[in-house]
Amino acid sequence: MGKYEFKVDKSASDFKVSISGTIDEDVDFSPYQLAGATSVEVHLGAVKSINSCGIREWIKWIGTAGSAKVEYFECPKIIVDQINMVQGFLPAQGRVKSFYVPYYSDDSGAEKNVLFTEGKEFTEQGLQTPPVVKDDEGKEMEMDVVEAKYFKFLKK
Partner 1 sequence: MRFHSNLKSWVSELPTDLSQEWESILVEPISEVPTGSNAKVKESCIYVDDSLSSPQVVAHVFEKKIKHLVQRNSGRFDSDLEIAATVMDNPERYFESQFCLINKKTVNSHRIIFSSSDEKEKIKAEVRQFVQELKGASLAETVTSIIEELYMNAIIDAPREAHKKGLIFQGGTCEFFLADLEGSLQVSCSDPFGSLDTEKFLGRMNEVYERGAGEAINMRNTGGAGLGCVILFENSVGMILGVRPGAQTKVTCVIPTGTSIKQRENMKKSLHWFCV
First to last CA, the chain: 37
Q: Which of 16, 114, 144, 154 binds partner 1 (CB under 8 A)?
A: 144
User: Interaction with partner 1 in 9-28: which residues (CB under 8 A)?
Assistant: 22, 24-25
CB of 33 or CB of 49, closer to partner 1: 49
Task: Determine if 1 is a binding residue for partner 1 (CB under 8 A).
Answer: no
Task: Determine if 134 is a binding residue for partner 1 (CB under 8 A).
Answer: no
Task: Determine if 38 is a binding residue for partner 1 (CB under 8 A).
Answer: no
Please provide residue 92's backbone torsions phi and psi, each rounded to the nearest 5 degrees. -55, -35
Closest distance between partner 1 and the C-beta of residue 88, in Å? 5
Q: Which of 41, 88, 121, 127 binds partner 1 (CB under 8 A)?
A: 88
Closest distance between partner 1 and the C-beta of residue 127, in Å? 16
